[in-house]
Structure 1
Amino acid sequence: MSNKKSITNKNIIDFYMNYVLEHNQQPPTVYAFAKANNFKEQDFYKYFGSFQAVEEYIFKAFFDNTIETLHKSNDYEAFETRNKLLSFYFTFFENLTANRSYVKYALSSDINNISNLKQLSKLKHSFTQYIEKLGIELIETKQNQLDKIQKNGLKESAWIQLLLTLKFWMDDTSASFERTDIFIEKSVNTSFDVLNVAPIKSLIDFGKFIFKEKVQLS
């Protein structure tokens, strides 16, 4: 009997992605999967409770790799919020493109109901936290409940935008996915233009000024 290999969670991810791409289905059991890749079954459970957990982690790993790449760039830290998000999108979809066959395998079966895919749950959690930490400026109402609703709405709309971009990318057949790059740039810029609070704040200040002047002249 040959000695079993010592493995990491990254090894398991690589083995799993290779398996499903070669067989177009999950391994029949964890035991068979471990045996085929010469490691102990119990080592699988050190990192994951099921194949579903592996699939969830893979999409989170795409996110983590993106963030790690971004933070290696000194330019990224100096970017304004809009350009940080654009950089995230371009880098994230570069990671997906490098693993396109797996992503299409994992999502194509239910692409029309992509928002309900459980394997994207960890990605959603990480991405919405990232959006929150970006510090996108919103109108402050000074009412905690309304401000909380507004922030949650921003995170949910950003998540939906990412899903729409993912769907567009999966359907994109242009060379080097140029159409997806255009889609990213236009959608992110449009979102920030809609969220641009400066003109709204100016309008509110002007309204306050007019009201004050009117009261004084009465």
Structure 2
Amino acid sequence: MATKTKTKKITDDMIISMYMDYVLEHEVVPKSVYKFCKINDIDEAVFYENFGSVEGIQKSIWSKFYTNTKSLIEKNKEYDSFSNKDKMLTFFYSFFELLTLNRSYVLFALPSDRTVLKNMEQLKELRRHVKAFSAELIEDGNSTKSLKITKHNPRLFSEGAWLQFLFILKFWMDDGSAGFEKTDVAIEKSINTIFDVFDNTPLDNIIDFGKFLFKEKFV
């Protein structure tokens, strides 16, 4: 059995699956690449062909969550015709559906303190992806506006979208509602708010969003 495993082509997705199974079964991060490879019966050289460290796997998992979500939503033939707001909503809904399928791992991997999430090393690649996606949406919207004064700053918008993402991530982690329906509400209100801010009509939705946060004790 060991010979068959070692001659089998090992992919990065397979190593990620091995890692996720390992941490959920042992409730601890592997202390070394050597021990991780020995338990999973793979050569260290094969591991290093795909990742430079255990930390590299952690980052890649979040990057895979993003790319898999993006691939899924782009398969929708109607996606290209969506408004930018609806594209963002579709992304967030789909991303958190994927996280729900991997909830046990996410809850293991992330701290409960939302302020810590902002600087987590394993989220850096995801942050880059989310900001690039958000900036692309706002740049697309700017391309349809002739007046410079009505155009929006992609860098500012993308940073706001990332902060909204972190808020929703923490909300989802703490959400005990059936089917995580409260997270769906939070996504809708949050995305509506950030787009309204950039459309210069923020007041009603910001108040609505604030009431929601107060009710759920997140402010």
Q: TM-score, normalised by structure 2?
A: 0.82
Letter in 2 for 1:187: S
2:75 paired with 1:72: yes
**Identical counterparts, % of pairs:** 43
1:59 aligned to which of 57, 62, 86: 62
The CA RMSD measured in Å over matched residues stands at 2.2
User: Larger deviation: 106-115 or 19-28?
Assistant: 106-115
**Structure 1: gaps spanning 5 or more residues:** 200-218
Letter in 2 for 1:72: K
Q: Structure 2 matches for 1:122-133, cutoff 5 A?
A: 122-133=125-136
Q: Which residue pairs with 2:207 in the alignment?
A: none
Pair member with larger Rg: 1
SS in 2 for 1:116: coil
**Structure 2: gaps spanning 5 or more residues:** 203-219
How many residue pairs are counted as aligned between the two chains?
Answer: 194
Q: Which residue pairs with 1:7 in the alignment?
A: 10
Letter in 2 for 1:23: H
Letter in 2 for 1:133: E
Q: Which residue pairs with 1:202 in the alignment?
A: none
Q: Structure 2 matches for 1:10-159, cutoff 5 A?
A: 10-108=13-111, 110-135=113-138, 137=141, 140-141=148-149, 150-159=153-162
> Where do 4+ consecutive residues of structure 1 move more than 2 Å?
108-112, 135-142
Alpha-carbon shift at residue 198 of structure 1 (Å): 8.9
Q: Which residue pairs with 1:209 in the alignment?
A: none
Letter in 2 for 1:57: S
Asked if structure 1 preserves the Cα contact closer than 8 Å seen for 2:114 and 2:166, the reply is no
CA separation in 2, counterparts of 1:172 and 1:74? 32
Alpha-carbon shift at residue 34 of structure 1 (Å): 1.1
Asked if structure 2 preserves the Cα contact closer than 8 Å seen for 1:6 and 1:39, the reply is no
Alpha-carbon shift at residue 193 of structure 1 (Å): 1.5
Greater relative contact order: 1 or 2 (C-alpha under 8 angstroms, separation 6 or more)? 1
Asked if structure 1 preserves the Cα contact closer than 8 Å seen for 2:118 and 2:166, the reply is yes
Letter in 1 for 2:94: T
CA separation in 2, counterparts of 1:110 and 1:34? 31
Alpha-carbon shift at residue 194 of structure 1 (Å): 1.7
Q: CA offsets, 1:67-122, max 9 Å, x none?
A: 00011101111101010000000000001000001001110265431100000000
Q: CA offsets, 1:163-201, max 9 Å, x none?
A: 0000000000000000000000011112112211599xx
